[in-house]
Amino acid sequence: MPLRGYGNAYKAGFANASGDVIATGDADLTYPFDVLPEILLRMERENLDFINTDRLATLDKAVMTPSHQFGNSVLSFITKFLFNCPFNDSQSGMWIFKRSIWKELTVASSGMPFSQELKIEVYIRGFKCAEIPIIYRARAGKEKLNTIKDGWGNITHLFKKKLSLSKTQIAQSFTLLVGEIINTNKYD
């Protein structure tokens, strides 16, 4: 039986992808897949590794509830604050990237935080990325998002991710410091 969860679904798809570029988006008709040829041209022209789409820049407020607008803005702000990420829409489900970078990312989330964690990883690993505004449309079908539960899960995941990266950075700095001390003592 396949593992459940938003992130696990993407991981299974990426493992089975065979093209050079992966494009994602929800299948609820909210994302404009007709812009993919233009995005792919930009990726090639600018030698980009990753493009995020920004739903919020041109958002028709009628297609997203006020609570989701607020939640998306808060999560994007926290992501920028904690990780200095350049993306204005950390929660966008439409992103396009070179398949080759996937193996270099450490994306642990199996659930809803997967999308924001992927973007954080792309940025902190130094891949060349950009963000473009899109026209986000009203969804078709019933919404599955649990606003409070998923929003809180995303917030806690952001802080756990920051803490785990901080521990790694402290360990790397300590290792470098010890190496410098050992090298300095060699010549005394």
Q: Across 10-14, 142-146, 166-170, which has the greatest mean pLDDT?
A: 10-14
- DSSP string for residues in the chain: -PPPSHHHHHHHHHHH--SSEEE---SSS-S-GGGHHHHHHHHHHHT-SEEEEESSTT--GGGS-HHHHHHHHHHHHHHHHHH----S-TT-S-EEEEGGGGGG------STTHHHHHHHHHHHTT--EEEEE----PPSS-----HHHHHHHHHHHHHHHHHHHHHHHHHHHHHHHHHHHHHHHHT-
Question: Which CATH number does the domain 6-186 belong to among 3.40.50.920, 3.10.20.520, 3.90.550.10, 3.90.1150.10?
Answer: 3.90.550.10
Q: What is the pLDDT of residues 59-115, one digit of tens each?
A: 999 999 999 999 999 999 999 999 999 999 999 999 999 999 999 999 999 999 999
- The per-residue pLDDT for 172 is 60
The Cα–Cα gap between 87 and 76 comes to 7
Q: Do residues 42 and 55 touch, judged by C-beta distance below 8 A?
A: no
The Cα–Cα gap between 128 and 130 comes to 7
What are the structural domain ranges in the chain? Answer: 6-186
CB atoms within 10 A of CB 4: 9
Average pLDDT in the chain: 90
* Rounded percentage of the chain residues whose pLDDT exceeds 70: 88
